[in-house]
Chain A
Amino acid sequence: MTKRIPLIARDLKQLYTGFLIAAVALFIVCSFLTEFNVMTLIANGDAFWEFITQDFLPPALPKASRIPGVLDSVVVTLALAMSSTTIAAILAFFVSLFGSEKVSPFPRFAKVVRGFATFLRNIPALVWAFILFSSLGIGTGVGFVALCITSFAFMVRAFVETMEDVSQDCVESLQAVGATFPQRVSQAILPSCLSGFLSWYLYCLEVNIRASTIVGMVGGGVGLTLFSYIKSFRYDIALSIILLIAAMVIVVDQITGKLRKELLK
C-alpha cells in the first residue's frame, strides 16, 4: 500500500472528515425519519409553480378602508421591537455586571447569573409568548414581555463577553487604585465597552424586528394581519403584506448598518 501525501494539517483534516461523515450520516437518518425526499418536491414542482403564479401573483392591495389598519400594524411591530430591545438592554447591562467572574463584586454568583441567562435564551420567544399568554391573556403586552425575555438573555451573554474581552485589564487596574464597584463601572467598563454594547443592541434590534413580526401572530402587529389574510385564502393580498414586511426589515437593516458604522468610528 502506498501512503498518500497529505495536503492539509492533520487536525484540520480530522475536523473536515468528521464533519463530512456526520453530515452524511445525519442526512440519511433524518431523511429516513421524516420520509423527506427532494424528488417528490421536484416532481410536484408544476403544481407548486401553478400555485404561486395563479394564487399569489400579482400582488393585490387590501381594501382601501383596511390600509390604515395594515400600516398601523407595521408601526406596532416596529414599536414592539424598539421598546422591548431598549428595556431589555438596560436590564441586561445591570445584570451582566454580575455575570463575569472578572468584573463582578460577587464572583461566586457569576455562574448563576450566566446559567439563568442561558436558560432564558434557549427557549424561543414564541414559546415564551405562549407561556405568558396563558397567564397574562392576549395583547401586545405579552409580545413585549416575551421579546424582552429573549433579547435580555441574549444581551447578557453578549455584554459579558464584550466586557471580558475589552475591560478586564482596566477593571483590574482600577481595583488596584482602590476604586469602588460603581466607580469601576462608570470609569472603566462604560467608556471602554459602550460602543461594543451599542453595536450588540443594534444587532438585537435587527433580530427583534423579525421576531416581533412572528410574536405578533399571537398578539397584534403585522404578523397577525398576514396570518388572517392567509387564513381567509387572500394569498394575493398576503403577498403584498410579505413584500411590506421585507421592505420594513430591509430599511431597518440599512439604518442600523449606517448607525453601526458611525458608532464604531
Chain B
Amino acid sequence: MNIDLTQACPVLRNRTEENDREKGRIPVKCRQRNRFIPVFLIGVAVLSVLSLLYLEIDWLKMASRVGDIGVVFWDLAHLDFSNMDLILSSLVETISIAVLSLLYSLILGIVFGMLAARNVFRIPVLSVVTQSFFTFLRAVPTPVWVLLMLVCLGMGPEAGVAGLCVHTTAFFTKSFAQSFESIPDETIEALEVTGASRLSIFMNAVLPAALSQIVAWAGMRLETNFSECAILGMVGAGGIGYVISNSLQGYDYGAAGVAILLVFLVAYCIERGFVRIKKKFS
C-alpha cells in the first residue's frame, strides 16, 4: 500500500518523507511548511536567555522582597480621600492635555498626511522627505519630547501639549497617509479627468473616504495619549503623574492609591467607550 501510493503520485516524494519511509513511518505533516517559524522561535529563545543573563538581575534579592509588594498594595488599598481636590484638578489637567494634544495633532496629521501620501500631490520627493522626517519623530518616545519641551518652554501644560503633539502628529501622519493611499487610483483618476484641482480632489474624495478610519485612529490614540500623559508627571511635568510619583516617594500611599485608581478608571472608560463606538459603526 505504501509503495503504491508513492508510485501513483510521485509528487508526494520529498526528502523528509523519504527519510521517514526508510524508517517505516508514514509522514503526517504538510509538504510546504513555513520553515521560518522554528528558526524564529529558536532565535527568540536564545536572544531572550542572553538578554536575561546580560541584565544580571538579582533574583534572590527580588524574591526576598516579594512580600513587600503585598504590603505596598495593602497600603495603596487604604484609599485616602483627604487630598481629593488636588488629585481631581490634576486629573482634569491630565485629561485636558491629552485631549488638546489629540485635537491639534489631528489637524496637523491631516495636513502632513496629505503631504506624505503618494497619491495626493504626486511629488515623490515631498512624500519621501515628509515620511522620513516623521519616522524619526516617531522613533523617539513621547516622554523624551516632553522632557525637551520642558527645557524649552518651562513648566506648565504648554510643554505637555507640545511634547505629546510631536509624537501624536508623527503617528497620525503615518496612519493617515496610509489611509489616503488605500483609496483606489481609479477614483482619483475619475476626478482628475473632470478637471478638479489636486486640493479639491483631496477635500472631496480622499478625505471623506478616509474619514471613518481617521475617527477610528483618533479614538485609538486617545487611549495611548491619556496613559502617556499620566506618566508625564513622573518625568517632571504636572498632572496626575506628578501626584502619583510625589505621594509614592513621600510614603503617602493612600493618596497614591486614589490617584492610580482614577487613572485606571478613566483609561478603562475610554477603552470601553471606544469599543462601543467601534461595535456600533462597524
A residues adjacent to B (C-beta < 8 A): 8, 11-12, 15-16, 19, 23, 26-27, 29-31, 33-36, 38, 40-41, 44, 48, 51-52, 75-76, 78-80, 82-83, 86-87, 118-119, 122-127, 130-137, 139-141, 144-145, 194-195, 198, 201, 210-211, 213-214, 217, 226-227, 230, 235, 242, 245-247, 249-250, 253, 259, 262-263, 265
Contacts and interface: CB of A to CB of B under 8 A. Distances in A.
Given A15-B215, A83-B55, A141-B57, A126 B157 contact: no
A31 B99 CA distance: 10
A80 B51 CA distance: 7
B71 interface: yes
Interface in B117-135: 135
A36 B157 contact: yes
Given A34-B100, A131-B248, A250 B135 contact: yes
Top 9 A-B pairs, shortest CB-CB distance: A79-B51, A86-B48, A30-B96, A135-B68, A122-B267, A249-B139, A83-B51, A246-B139, A34-B157
A90 to B, nearest CB: 9
Given A126-B234, A144-B57, A26 B157 contact: no
Interface string B81-95: 000000000001101
Contacts of B135: 250
Contacts, number: 195
Contacts of A41: 153, 158, 162
Contacts of B69: 132, 135-136
A41 B271 CA distance: 32
B51 A82 contact: yes
A93 to B, nearest CB: 12
Contacts of A87: 48
A194 B68 contact: no
Contacts of A122: 227, 263-264, 267-268, 271
23 contacts: A12-B212, A16-B215, A26-B99, A27-B103, A30-B95, A31-B100, A36-B161, A40-B158, A48-B152, A52-B152, A82-B48, A86-B45, A123-B264, A126-B241, A130-B245, A132-B69, A134-B251, A141-B62, A213-B141, A214-B143, A242-B148, A250-B139, A263-B34
B231 interface: yes
A195 B140 contact: no
Nearest to B54: A79
Contact of A76 (B54, B68, B281): B54
Given A15-B281, A16-B215, 4 more contacts: A30-B103, A122-B263, A136-B62, A145-B62
Interface residues of B, number: 75
A131 to B, nearest CB: 6
A59 to B, nearest CB: 13
Given A132-B69, A141-B62, A245-B144, A127 B54 contact: no
B206 to A, nearest CB: 15
Contact of A144 (B55, B141, B230): B55
A195 B37 contact: yes
Q: Which applies to chain B's interface (DSSP): helix, strand, loop or mixed?
A: helix
A125 B281 CA distance: 31
A33 B89 CA distance: 10
A118 B268 contact: yes
Contacts of B152: 48, 51-52
B161 A245 contact: no
B203 interface: no
A34 B264 CA distance: 22
Contacts of A265: 34, 36
B68 to A, nearest CB: 4
A125 B244 CA distance: 13
Contacts of B34: 195, 263, 265
A22 to B, nearest CB: 10
A246 B136 contact: yes
B51 A78 contact: yes
A26 B103 contact: yes
A245 B37 contact: no
A256 to B, nearest CB: 11
Contact of B72 (A76, A134, A213, A262): A134
Given A48-B152, A119-B264, A135-B69, A27 B100 contact: yes
A80 B53 CA distance: 11
Given A141-B62, A214-B143, A198 B51 contact: no
Nearest to A241: B144
B55 A76 contact: yes
B279 interface: no
